[in-house]
Chains A and B, each alone.
Chain A
């Protein structure tokens, strides 16, 4: 039973354009969300996070939007660069939990020059 869903296994975007990666969740008790980026044969790298009390968090080219009523969050990357090509994982933490992350299956982003 997948509590965090990334329904697009892959996404291809032209360099310079916007990349939008989507994530849906089913458990309304999640109170913290994170995005991780993963290159092949490496561990996931933390990218950006958002608390459930916010609807937007921005860090440079990366912005995460949270729509609690829709149980949906998205990661926007603009402008996209070829070095952004990686697998992006959405993760969530349950309110009151000890911090263990529940991950989606990931979306593979390819940014073409």
Chain B
């Protein structure tokens, strides 16, 4: 049983391009969370999703960022028109209800 899978591990984008980060939760997990870690910072909650629903997006920037978790396939975090400040490590986590979250290895986004 694979853990939480994120791809790509590393992503380089030029300013203004779009970044798509993928997360496949652990088998049987229906709760997906996205976190961002900026340099020298802890992990910051971005969004919580269940299948086809956004439950809590209070940590998401209001513009350029969106997330989805379709009925089939991985969860996607999309960043449009990336800027240098978007450079960070993005972690996805999944859980069953009321249990600890398991994290993927993260996607390191670099905007050049």
Contact B42 A104 (CB under 8 A): yes
Q: How far is the CA of A23 from the CA of B108 in the complex (A)?
A: 27
Contact code string B20-58 (vs A, CB < 8 Å = 1, else 0): 000000000001010100001111110010000001100
Q: Does B4 contact A (CB under 8 A)?
A: yes
Report chain A residues within 8 Å CB of B59: 100
Partner of B91, one of A4, A44, A46, A105: A44
A105 in contact with B41 (CB, 8 Å): yes
Q: How big is the B interface, by class?
A: 20 to 34
User: Chain B interface mostly helix, strand, loop or mixed?
Assistant: strand
8 A Cβ contacts from B64-112 to A:
91, 93, 95, 97-98, 100-106, 108
The A interface is mostly helix, strand or loop, or mixed, namely loop
- Chain A interface extent, by class: 20 to 34
| CB contact list, A73-113 vs B, under 8 A | 89, 97-106
Find chain B residues with CB under 8 A from A98 CB: 31, 48, 55-56
Q: Which residues of A contact B (CB under 8 A)?
A: 4, 6, 34, 36, 41-46, 49, 89, 97-106
